[in-house]
Structure 1
Amino acid sequence: MCGIQNVTRKHGTYYYRRLIRLGLDKPFRLRMSLKTTNRRHAALLAPALTLICERVAMNMMTNIRSDGLTSAQRAEIYRRQMLIERDRLEVMHANLHIIPPEDHDDIDKALSLRLGASESAASDGVVKGKIDDFLIARIDPDDDDEPIVIMAWSDLAESIQQDGAEEAAVTRLAEIGVEETVLREAMARKVVNQARIEAVREFRRVLADPSTAYAPVQVAGYEPINPQNSSPTVTSHQPVANEWVTMTPSEAVLRFFEHNPRTGGKDGNSRKKGEPWTLKTRNQFELPAMLLEQVMDGRALATVTHDDLVKLDQCFEKLHGPSFRKSPKHRDMTIWQIIDETEAKVVAGEEAMKKEAKRKGRVTDTKIKPAEHLSRKELGLGVVTTNRHWGFLRQLTGWFNKHHPLGRLDYGAFIMNDTRNQRELQSVYTVEQGREIFNLPPWTGSKSHARRMQPGDLLVHDAWYFVPLIAWYSGMRRDEICGLDVNDVETEDGFWFFNVRANDVRRVKTISSARKVPVAKELQRLGLIDYVTALREAGEKTLFPELVAESGLGQMGDAYYKRIWTKIAKELAFLKGGQAMHAFRHTAIDSMKGAGIPSEIRADFAGHALKGETEGRYSKAHMALLRNAVATIPEVTKHLDPFPVSLLPAKLREPRKARVK
């Protein structure tokens, strides 16, 4: 070592070495000879070089941050250029009507030649950064007598009155007040060419359907304008154009919430009365907008095109629906990162299947894959999920279009009809399967509170025990059961019933979901009423307090599914696709249908919409009919003996704490 900072000595000559990092990029090492063997001279040169390196690095970092164009500036250049291109194309088309072109007798062919050449030139400008002169040929394959037309782009550019992209880029930068640099001019030039491509495509769409050239005109209430008395109408509080031009899809969602109080407003709490959107619905609305923003690489929503929607749809086909954004890890990843991760799992699965097939001597047998891997057949979001995404995006862009015009977006190309047989999707449990479920340890005896699926002597009244029982004998939805309040189990004239209504922990799905469901005699025999009474005496408010989250976020039904039902399901070998908690509901309704219960009573029992409801809907006679309907549900728990009320320890009934990441 020579003892001078950042300096080494080799064969008598001193060398300067330094590791330089610019932002988050990978660092690079600078190594140069000081061309001296004199230690004193090297000690003077080294600090000077260090100071120079620091100054250069700071200048480069500053340029990296400020020398380019922001997404807002690019969006504004794109908007201005689109307006210019629209006018230019209209003028060019009108000129073809006035002055016949020399290269064609047919105006349609002349226009097609110019549009095609303009798009090709602009595409070259986007990819290569410049437009080299090229030849354009037009050949009619259906007409051998039609002459072949060959022209140079430089000659044709004059006839379409198109300025060079360089001049247009410099002009746009000056219009938005941005100082011109080499990088900014190159980026603006690319945006100019992108606008020209989209303008040509838009012009073709209007030619194909001329009725879309202008927005609908209000005809009713039309009054002739008197030129002498006419004056421009000034509307106060007009929104600033740039506000909409630079708004990203995610920012547009927040503005949509603010403009639509029915959604809950900006913070979700603007409606003191009525039923605003739930947090789940708001999150579902935000998700497709966020994914679209990632697909658009952060561009403003004002620049969205149908091609962006196509790209998003292609992404949907590369995702694994059951696992997409289900983990905290996924919520911090972009759609591109999740696609890459999913593809890696597919490739790993294919390789594992090939190795397993070769190991067993069946080279062509690649149908069995390891559980941790994926197959290509499993990819693609479900029809219901994608339709919901497209529906929310159509709602968002439709609202946005009222404030700032958007290009034509055809959502009908993506929304699919669900052709699945809904009856086949509604799997039910047989009586034998019901007995098998309720023969598991949570109902016959568990080893401990922490090991509920291992046989033992512990019997506890809690969500493990009662949620599936209530689901079987009431046909209520999972969230309706898990979110019950102790005061929602009521009695009238000596008969017990569940009062399904909105409460502090959950809402009801629809207006017709609010209903009264009789408590089956088998539930009463197994101690449900005693359990409710014991919870009241213990000071609990909810029927299953162990499902409540300390943060107040999330749904108790989801907590039950993740913490309890998934463990029960692992022990049920007969389970198939579509058989889960909701199958209990279909089992109850099918039992009533098989017993001849009228459809009106079944609908009221299930919380479905009724036609011609009467004032006596919940009269004594009507409740008797509902009790008769509940009695038709097969009793599969006769083998279970009731036991004295056994609540969870108070510590285990406390609200769930958030998991530490």
Structure 2
Amino acid sequence: MLAQNHLSQRGSVYQWRRRVRSQSTGIIDIKLSLGTTDRRVAAILARKISAESDHLMDQINSNSITPAEARAWLGEVIRRERQKIEQLQMLRRIESDDPADDARHDEAMRDAWQHLAQAGLNGRIPDGTQDLVRSNIEILRQDLTSESRRNIVARDFRNLTGRERVSAFELMTLMTLLISGKKAAWAGYETALQPIDTLADEIARQAPSALIGSEPRPTPPAKTALEAPPSQSLPASTPSAKDPTISAVIERMILLKRREGIEEKTLQQYRSFGKLFILLTGIADIRDVLQSDATSFRASLRKLPKSWGKSPADQTATREEVMARAAALRPDQVGLSVGTINRHLEHLGQIVASAADEGIPVDPRLNPAKLRRKDPVRDSDKRDAFTPVQLERIFRGPVWSGSESEYYQTRPGPTTYHNGLYWCPLIGAVTGARREEIAGLAPNDIVTVDGIPCFSIAASDQRRVKTLSSQRVVPIHSRLIELGFLDYVARIRAKGHPDLFPDLREPTSGQHGRKLGRRMRQVIDETLGAEGAALSFHSLRHYVQNALERAKIDDKIIRDIVGHEGRDVHDKVYHKPVPPDIMQPAIESLTLAI
């Protein structure tokens, strides 16, 4: 039923093979593993390769294209055609509401490629042609005749063959191959693409095509012009010194950024982004990413559950499972925030730029920054700041006035437990330091400078800092000392523990801030109820910023306390950190109602 020339099986896997005797005494033998056990998928790929090979064999005989180049080009055809089928299948499963309409569009695309292959790019469109077919022809014409498309085809062929240039005649030949191959692939979609789910899933499980070929084998000892010299022998994959997969590009980029002192949390975000991008687009090679893929990725982010990434199950979920989960949620629980979407687009832009810097060919029209959306909510409105009254209510709660037990520290009781949950919010309220900066303190980070006890916030084995300006020395508020903070530090030092707040370290990840964030959320909810819905540990940082501004503290001193960068080049380059004795009055202006 699916008879196909040059298609055969080797074991359970299909392969394509063609042997042709050239005009000399050599034999050209090209074999390609199709990497699939599904005959329908093999028929699609074989039909496309056979159509391409008719032209390639002519070019080989005229010595315009070598056998090695032919194998590389055909291998690239297989790789891209598999990806196209997979993406088409994915879009149908997720986006389509009308399979019959999908089939109508497929048929129109098939007819459009058929027309272009027979009549050429400038051939007259026959009267009576359906509007959808006519529209597809016009769109394809615009793309195929554009300078950018021809540049991409020439670039891809140079990358595959290692040639320095492609002649006008060779470019015309490659464009002809492209059209004939597209026509051949679409010609059999009605039979070969059913069932499409099964085909695309099978393709996704297969590794990239293993390209096996041989150079022309002349019968006489002397080499003929048809035999490609060793220097032109090409491997199956694109001959690039760098791995072009998105995950590999990210790992190399992370190495560079780690040397620049970027915090580990940010570096992990790049890895998470890479996994999410591959999950939502099905694209694993940075060379294959187009602007339309970035647009589709942005659209998919708006369909994700807002809680995405918080459950361990998200790490192994398929796209279908993710979207099915989102479909069962309320509308207000679906769609990542504009800020998060923009951050993902920024990550994509950095990865694309990193690949380009490494010499990996990326689409020159790919510009994720164009897809950024303006956030309708101001940064200052995204998180509330504590008011003095709210903080007074918080610090009158069980954690600071007496708890039932250390496990049930938010329940009223007779004992006050001086642990991380007790000290960290107090420190945050008189320093404005970030959650991870406080929770990740070590005993040795409590220092004395010019006789003033201080917090030394700097990168260490315990934790990294957000930026270089985040490294700072901040005086310890006198009220903390009155409450016994320095005595607590001495006890922890005597125990030899590396953490100042060992109860806040996550047992599996080793991180410090998350547990503090969860416990603070519990404290806020139980103390303030709905009034504290927009508050978090980070709201202490906003409280300190506001309180220092109201106290008319110099802006440079405020930036040094909270660890913000300077506002201009002068501040960033020439401003030196304020010493603790100048900073101390500003710290003491903050009241601690406990």
TM-score tier after normalising by the smaller chain length: 0.5 to 0.7
**CA drift at 1:67:** 4.1
Is 1:490 matched up with 2:447? yes
Q: 2:548 aligns with which of 588, 592, 596?
A: 592
Question: If you compute each CA radius of gyration, which structure gives the higher value, 1 or 2?
Answer: 1
- Rounded to whole Å, the distance in 1 between the matches of 2:473 and 2:284 is 51
Aligned match of 2:522: 567
Deviations 1:494-545 (A, max 9, x none): 3211011111110111111111111001111111111001111122221111
- Rounded to whole Å, the distance in 2 between the matches of 1:603 and 1:237 is 60
Q: Which letter maps to 1:494?
A: G
Aligned match of 1:345: 329
- For residue 514 of structure 2, give the secondary structure of its aligned residue in structure 1: helix
Instruction: List aligned pairs for 1:137-176, cutoff 5 A.
Output: 157-160=117-120
**CA drift at 1:419:** 4.3
Contact 1:305 1:407 in 2 (8 A): no
Report sequence identity in percent: 25
Q: Which letter maps to 1:635?
A: L
Deviations 1:196-215 (A, max 9, x none): 999656346658x9999999
Stretches of structure 1 that go unaligned for 5 or more consecutive residues are 1-58, 86-122, 135-152, 164-194, 216-233, 265-273, 347-375, 638-661
Aligned match of 1:580: 536
Q: Which letter maps to 1:160?
A: G
- For residue 433 of structure 1, give the secondary structure of its aligned residue in structure 2: helix
Deviations 1:622-658 (A, max 9, x none): 3222111011112311xxxxxxxxxxxxxxxxxxxxx
Q: 1:284 aligns with which of 245, 250, 269?
A: 269
**CA drift at 1:594:** 0.7
Contact 2:394 2:524 in 1 (8 A): no
**CA drift at 1:319:** 1.8
- Rounded to whole Å, the distance in 2 between the matches of 1:472 and 1:490 is 20
Aligned match of 1:252: 246
Contact 1:383 1:416 in 2 (8 A): yes
Aligned match of 1:543: 500
Is 1:513 matched up with 2:470? yes
Q: Which letter maps to 1:491?
A: T
Is 1:319 matched up with 2:319? no
Aligned match of 1:503: 460
**CA drift at 1:276:** 5.0
Instruction: List aligned pairs for 1:408-487, cutoff 5 A.
Output: 408-487=365-444
Q: Which letter maps to 1:315?
A: S
Instruction: List aligned pairs for 1:639-650, cutoff 5 A.
Output: none
Contact 1:262 1:277 in 2 (8 A): no
Instruction: List aligned pairs for 1:227-242, cutoff 5 A.
Output: 242=237
Aligned match of 2:295: 310
Q: Which letter maps to 2:120?
A: I
Contact 2:457 2:471 in 1 (8 A): yes
- For residue 555 of structure 1, give the secondary structure of its aligned residue in structure 2: coil
Q: Which letter maps to 1:608?
A: H
Give TM-score, length-normalised by structure 1.
0.56
Contact 1:291 1:335 in 2 (8 A): no
Q: Which letter maps to 1:310?
A: T
Give TM-score, length-normalised by structure 2.
0.61
Q: 1:383 aligns with which of 317, 338, 341?
A: 338
Stretches of structure 2 that go unaligned for 5 or more consecutive residues are 1-9, 15-34, 57-101, 124-135, 156-228
The structure whose RCO (Cα within 8 Å, separation 6+) is larger is 2
- For residue 592 of structure 2, give the secondary structure of its aligned residue in structure 1: coil
Deviations 1:415-452 (A, max 9, x none): 12334333333521111101110111111111112211
Q: Which letter maps to 1:605?
A: I
Specify whether residues 477 and 575 from structure 1 end up closer, same or farther in structure 2 by C-alpha distance, changes over 3 A only: farther
**CA drift at 1:577:** 5.3
Specify whether residues 470 and 244 from structure 1 end up closer, same or farther in structure 2 by C-alpha distance, changes over 3 A only: farther
**CA drift at 1:609:** 1.9
Q: Which letter maps to 1:333?
A: A
- Rounded to whole Å, the distance in 2 between the matches of 1:497 and 1:213 is 62
Specify whether residues 626 and 74 from structure 1 end up closer, same or farther in structure 2 by C-alpha distance, changes over 3 A only: farther
Specify whether residues 155 and 634 from structure 1 end up closer, same or farther in structure 2 by C-alpha distance, changes over 3 A only: closer
- Rounded to whole Å, the distance in 2 between the matches of 1:259 and 1:474 is 34
Q: Which letter maps to 2:300?
A: C
Contact 2:121 2:141 in 1 (8 A): no
Specify whether residues 414 and 204 from structure 1 end up closer, same or farther in structure 2 by C-alpha distance, changes over 3 A only: farther
Instruction: List aligned pairs for 1:366-377, cutoff 5 A.
Output: 376-377=331-332
Q: 1:557 aligns with which of 478, 502, 513?
A: 513
- For residue 328 of structure 2, give the secondary structure of its aligned residue in structure 1: helix
- Rounded to whole Å, the distance in 2 between the matches of 1:342 and 1:210 is 41
**CA drift at 1:377:** 3.3
- For residue 403 of structure 1, give the secondary structure of its aligned residue in structure 2: coil
- For residue 242 of structure 1, give the secondary structure of its aligned residue in structure 2: coil
Q: Which letter maps to 2:545?
A: I
- For residue 473 of structure 2, give the secondary structure of its aligned residue in structure 1: strand
Is 1:626 matched up with 2:583? yes
Instruction: List aligned pairs for 1:89-108, cutoff 5 A.
Output: none
Specify whether residues 378 and 206 from structure 1 end up closer, same or farther in structure 2 by C-alpha distance, changes over 3 A only: farther
Q: 1:328 aligns with which of 312, 328, 333?
A: 312
**CA drift at 1:301:** 4.0
Q: Which letter maps to 2:365?
A: R
Aligned match of 2:106: 127
Deviations 1:558-616 (A, max 9, x none): 23213x12321221225445421111111112111111111011111111123447999
Specify whether residues 275 and 406 from structure 1 end up closer, same or farther in structure 2 by C-alpha distance, changes over 3 A only: closer
**CA drift at 1:311:** 2.2
**CA drift at 1:336:** 3.2
Contact 1:592 1:633 in 2 (8 A): yes
Contact 1:591 1:634 in 2 (8 A): no
Q: Which letter maps to 2:346?
A: G
Aligned match of 1:144: none
Contact 1:306 1:409 in 2 (8 A): yes
Aligned match of 2:490: 533
- Rounded to whole Å, the distance in 2 between the matches of 1:379 and 1:501 is 38
- Rounded to whole Å, the distance in 2 between the matches of 1:263 and 1:240 is 32
Specify whether residues 290 and 422 from structure 1 end up closer, same or farther in structure 2 by C-alpha distance, changes over 3 A only: closer
- For residue 454 of structure 2, give the secondary structure of its aligned residue in structure 1: strand
RMSD across aligned C-alpha pairs, in angstroms?
Answer: 4.5
- Rounded to whole Å, the distance in 1 between the matches of 2:549 and 2:234 is 58
Q: Which letter maps to 1:296?
A: T
- Rounded to whole Å, the distance in 2 between the matches of 1:411 and 1:248 is 22
- For residue 516 of structure 1, give the secondary structure of its aligned residue in structure 2: strand
Specify whether residues 567 and 399 from structure 1 end up closer, same or farther in structure 2 by C-alpha distance, changes over 3 A only: same
- Rounded to whole Å, the distance in 2 between the matches of 1:434 and 1:237 is 73
- Rounded to whole Å, the distance in 2 between the matches of 1:298 and 1:419 is 31
- Rounded to whole Å, the distance in 2 between the matches of 1:547 and 1:475 is 19
Q: Which letter maps to 1:159?
A: A
Contact 1:257 1:263 in 2 (8 A): no
- For residue 474 of structure 2, give the secondary structure of its aligned residue in structure 1: strand
Contact 2:253 2:354 in 1 (8 A): no
Specify whether residues 494 and 404 from structure 1 end up closer, same or farther in structure 2 by C-alpha distance, changes over 3 A only: closer
Contact 1:256 1:396 in 2 (8 A): yes
Q: 2:349 aligns with which of 366, 369, 394?
A: 394
Q: Which letter maps to 2:394?
A: I
- For residue 345 of structure 1, give the secondary structure of its aligned residue in structure 2: coil
Specify whether residues 382 and 248 from structure 1 end up closer, same or farther in structure 2 by C-alpha distance, changes over 3 A only: farther
